[in-house]
Amino acid sequence: MMGVQQDPDRPEEALAPYFEKSATTVRQTFERFEDDYARPVVKSGAAAFAAYPITTTFFFIFAALSFLPVLTFFVFTAFTLASALTIGLFIAFAFSTFVFIFSGGVLLGILAITLLLSSILTVLALSTYLFARLLRLVSVSGRNGVLEWANETKQTFMPSRAPKVEEDAYASDESGVIIKREGEEDGVVRTADEGYRIDHSEADVKESSG
């Protein structure tokens, strides 16, 4: 047999199989609950009522009346516990933040005082050293000690760069020597071989003229 085709223009026909499947699942669940729990409880209650009618009646009435208070108790306990945990965490976070800010402020204040105290002590120590140095130089050199103290203090606070050594005009390099002739103020740089040849040529000229 061919299946019945569903009309796409009617969505209720498309949802009908899903609805029937869900209803079947719910019906099977209730049937399983009835078979596994409800019927055994009813049978046990009927047997207990037949054996102990007064006690069973009292128990069922007590259970029915106590169900709502017991449920309320558990709900209230769970709500109180959750609220206490939330409030506790909030208070702990707020207290931790307050302690962090307070301790940070105290630390910054201590560091500022330490910085000021260090500056004052540094100035006092330096002033004491300079004054003691002045007294020593004056006791040794007299009035000139004041000038020496001033120069020394200037060198201490404003050290000048060492003067650059000027190159000697007559300095020789690795490959040449200085040859200075009579009547000339500046030397002429020559290599070792050239200087040797120049010295010998001058010597020959003097011998021939003599």
Residue 177 binned pLDDT confidence (cut-offs 50, 70, 90): very low
Average pLDDT, the chain: 76
Of these ranges, 51-65, 108-122, 193-207, the one predicted with the greatest mean pLDDT is 108-122
Q: Are 130 and 153 in contact (CB under 8 A)?
A: yes
What pTM was estimated for this model as a whole? 0.41
Q: Span 101-121, mean pLDDT?
A: 96
Parallel/antiparallel/unpaired status of strands 188-190 and 177-179: antiparallel
Task: Using the predicted structure, report yes or no on whether residue 94 has a pLDDT greater than 90.
Answer: yes
Q: What is the 3-state secondary structure (H, E, C) of the chain?
A: CCCCCCCCCCHHHHHHHHHHHHHHHHHHHHHHHHHHHHHHHHHHHHHHHHHCHHHHHHHHHHHHHHHHHHHHHHHHHHHHHHHHHHHHHHHHHHHHHHHHHHHHHHHHHHHHHHHHHHHHHHHHHHHHHHHHHHHHHHHHHCCHHHHHHHHHHHHHHCCCCCCCCCCCCCCCCCCCEEECCCCCCCCEEECHHHHHHHHHHHHHHHHHHC
Task: Using the predicted structure, report yes or no on whether residue 172 has a pLDDT greater than 60.
Answer: no
Residue 93 binned pLDDT confidence (cut-offs 50, 70, 90): very high
- Give the pLDDT score at 202: 55
- Give the pLDDT score at 2: 44
Tokens at residue 84, please? 């206490």
Return the CA Rg of the chain: 57
Task: Using the predicted structure, report yes or no on whether residue 103 has a pLDDT greater than 90.
Answer: yes
Residue 138 binned pLDDT confidence (cut-offs 50, 70, 90): confident
Residue 197 binned pLDDT confidence (cut-offs 50, 70, 90): low
Residue 204 binned pLDDT confidence (cut-offs 50, 70, 90): low
Task: Using the predicted structure, report yes or no on whether residue 179 has a pLDDT greater than 50.
Answer: no
Task: Using the predicted structure, report yes or no on whether residue 47 has a pLDDT greater than 60.
Answer: yes
